[in-house]
A and B are shown apart, each in its own frame.
Chain A
């Protein structure tokens, strides 16, 4: 069996070599990088534009963006037929290809996020390390923590007011530089699709902009959702722990979710959502008006076999319903949570309809291909490029976030930034 045969159904005339080669992992890839870029843009709103109300969620989304970063690469690795050679994209890039820019965009962005994080948390590293150093007999775990945190300070132990001020300035610079780089990282993913002239659905110069807008939408939505959920979980856990040890602080004493953070963030989400929706509809209108040779088959996919996916699930449930939920007055946390889940689903469906929808018709314009997502894997390929692989990719950032939270405490830490 050749690659793609396991999940492709052909209808009418399709060239013999045509299969759905880009599958669920290529849906996950722009979805995940979009979340990374969007989360970073959200954190920059606070650091660059000084929107003070976003302080809590900004620090949170910065750490989360870092947790998402390695995950943007995993779907690509899982989709490669030779994952062991994946590193060659970085080592021997062929610069006529859009993908060759991946190494540069990805590592630049990674370094910016890492250094911004370091400046934000430097004081924490120093304080933790100093506290551990002062402790007389350390347990092996404490000794490890001491070693870890003193390494993380990178030898910069100065936490005088003057030094911290400099840190703050550096954070601002990193956050400012980071915005265009985050847009580049994701806009480039859009360019990869938009520049494939052989694919009638993908070819459009609007693609990078559509990608950036929907990235911001999804990034903000995920940060809002995870922020709300973790805040609630922390409260629940505090209540539960207090039953065993009454000396712990009560759930009320724990800093809880701030509603103004939610309303403020949702406003930015709405702006980005309107921009994304506008661009997508412009693209659709243009295609329908210009009527290129390919339009006949593209239209039959958009308005025919993919109608429910595109108009009901993506635009309806994923865009218009949450837009209404956000715009109705007196927003509540529950309503915001429902809206963010719908938004995330909408952006995922947009990626799905683009990647899978773009391969739903043959380059002969005379036939169709249907994608059957492998649910129960029966070999390594249907595992990697099936439901299980996609779910694994979806879970990983939360595992990373849990680990990173031990080093970069998002919640307990009261910093000057």
Chain B
């Protein structure tokens, strides 16, 4: 066989093989697992009732204690934002120290700009919005990690492997919700884990347990009888920053258009 014949025959064989092979579909094992009725039976989701939150900050304090985030540092896995909208339509937002100590003054903390006094008669509406990791279905942070130190568990929670994180901050940059930071001691990416060490043992998250008003709830989306799932499915709920396509899994009751 000369070279020309060899090449000709090879192309024929490849073309011939390609037809039956194209009939086969590559099956993603994770997709298969999800479609199987006895696959992962848990998908954690969070429900925040902004109408119930009073901004006491107990959740923030409990989170810091539970997850060993030094009390004095300014980073926090969860925080509460205060929104004050004036009659003229101006919105003021603050979250001093992530509301670790609650909101102890009426004045709005504008950081370098100092404290802003707002006349009570000018206030149109005011409310609190707790924030935490959205445990996105399509997490940008997991995608961009160059070493795979951050990953999504089968039940939907995004975790960080502190032994593997190189500390490049790409995940911090990629998160549209700014929930990530660096841990002051471990120097690795730090984030809310829905208290994974607790929820996998049948407990609630520290913030849910600490909330005296039931503003925070955690539930399993795959369980149709879970009250959280029921509210998410049948209630009027919203999510944050949908435009980034990350499919956030923290749902909000009473979300207002001013919320960033």
Residues of chain A whose beta carbon lies under 8 Å from any beta carbon of chain B = 1-5, 9-19, 21-22, 76, 79-82, 85-86, 88-89, 92-94, 96-100, 102, 192, 196-199, 293, 362-367, 370
**A380–B48 Cα gap in the complex (Å)?**
41
Inter-subunit contact B140/A198 (CB<8 Å):
yes
Name which residue of chain B comes closest to A292, CB basis: B243
Inter-subunit contact B113/A198 (CB<8 Å):
no
**A12–B260 Cα gap in the complex (Å)?**
13
Task: Determine if B160 is an interface residue (Cβ-Cβ < 8 Å).
Answer: no
- Annotate B175-197 by CB proximity to A: 1 below 8 A, 0 otherwise: 11111111010011000000000
Inter-subunit contact B110/A198 (CB<8 Å):
no
Q: Which 6 A-B pairs have the closest CB atoms?
A: A81-B167, A94-B148, A99-B146, A364-B260, A15-B178, A17-B181
Checking B111, B166, B170 against A10 with a beta-carbon cut-off of 8 angstroms, the contacting residue is: B111
Q: Which residues of A contact B143 (CB under 8 A)?
A: 96-97
Q: How far is the CB of A409 from chain B (nearest CB, A)?
A: 39
Inter-subunit contact A5/B93 (CB<8 Å):
no
Query: Which of B97, B98, B166 gathers the greatest number of chain A CB atoms within 10 Å?
Result: B166
Inter-subunit contact B110/A13 (CB<8 Å):
yes
**A197–B245 Cα gap in the complex (Å)?**
10
Q: Which residues of A contact B181 (CB under 8 A)?
A: 2-3, 17, 19
Inter-subunit contact B166/A5 (CB<8 Å):
no
Residues of chain B whose beta carbon lies under 8 Å from any beta carbon of chain A = 73-76, 79, 81, 91-95, 97-98, 110-113, 131, 140, 142-148, 164-170, 172-182, 184, 187-188, 243-245, 260
Inter-subunit contact A93/B176 (CB<8 Å):
no
Inter-subunit contact B144/A97 (CB<8 Å):
yes
Inter-subunit contact A81/B182 (CB<8 Å):
yes
Given contacts A197-B176, A198-B173, A199-B173, contact A94 B146 (CB under 8 A): yes
Q: How far is the CB of B249 from chain A (nearest CB, A)?
A: 17
Query: What are 19 contact pairs spanning A and B, CB under 8 A?
Result: A2-B181, A13-B111, A13-B260, A15-B79, A16-B75, A19-B181, A21-B172, A79-B169, A85-B147, A85-B164, A85-B167, A88-B147, A94-B148, A96-B143, A97-B143, A97-B144, A99-B146, A198-B140, A367-B111
Given contacts A80-B166, A97-B145, contact A2 B111 (CB under 8 A): no
Q: Which residues of B contact A97 (CB under 8 A)?
A: 143-146, 170
**A202–B68 Cα gap in the complex (Å)?**
34
Q: Which residues of A contact B184 (CB under 8 A)?
A: 1-3
Given contacts A16-B95, A17-B180, contact A82 B167 (CB under 8 A): yes
Name which residue of chain A comes closest to B76, CB basis: A16
Q: How far is the CB of A107 from chain B (nearest CB, A)?
A: 15
Inter-subunit contact B112/A10 (CB<8 Å):
yes
Name which residue of chain A comes closest to B111, CB basis: A10
Name which residue of chain B comes closest to A11, CB basis: B112
Given contacts A13-B110, A82-B187, contact A366 B260 (CB under 8 A): yes
Q: How far is the CB of A82 from chain B (nearest CB, A)?
A: 5
Name which residue of chain A comes closest to B191, CB basis: A17
Inter-subunit contact A81/B188 (CB<8 Å):
yes
Inter-subunit contact B148/A99 (CB<8 Å):
no
Q: Which residues of A contact B98 (CB under 8 A)?
A: 16
**A238–B177 Cα gap in the complex (Å)?**
62
**A94–B143 Cα gap in the complex (Å)?**
8
Q: How far is the CB of B96 from chain A (nearest CB, A)?
A: 9
Name which residue of chain B comes closest to A363, CB basis: B178
Known: A4-B182, A5-B74, A198-B140. 16 other contacts (CB 8 A): A2-B181, A11-B110, A11-B111, A15-B177, A16-B95, A17-B76, A17-B180, A79-B169, A81-B168, A94-B145, A94-B146, A97-B170, A196-B174, A198-B174, A198-B244, A364-B93
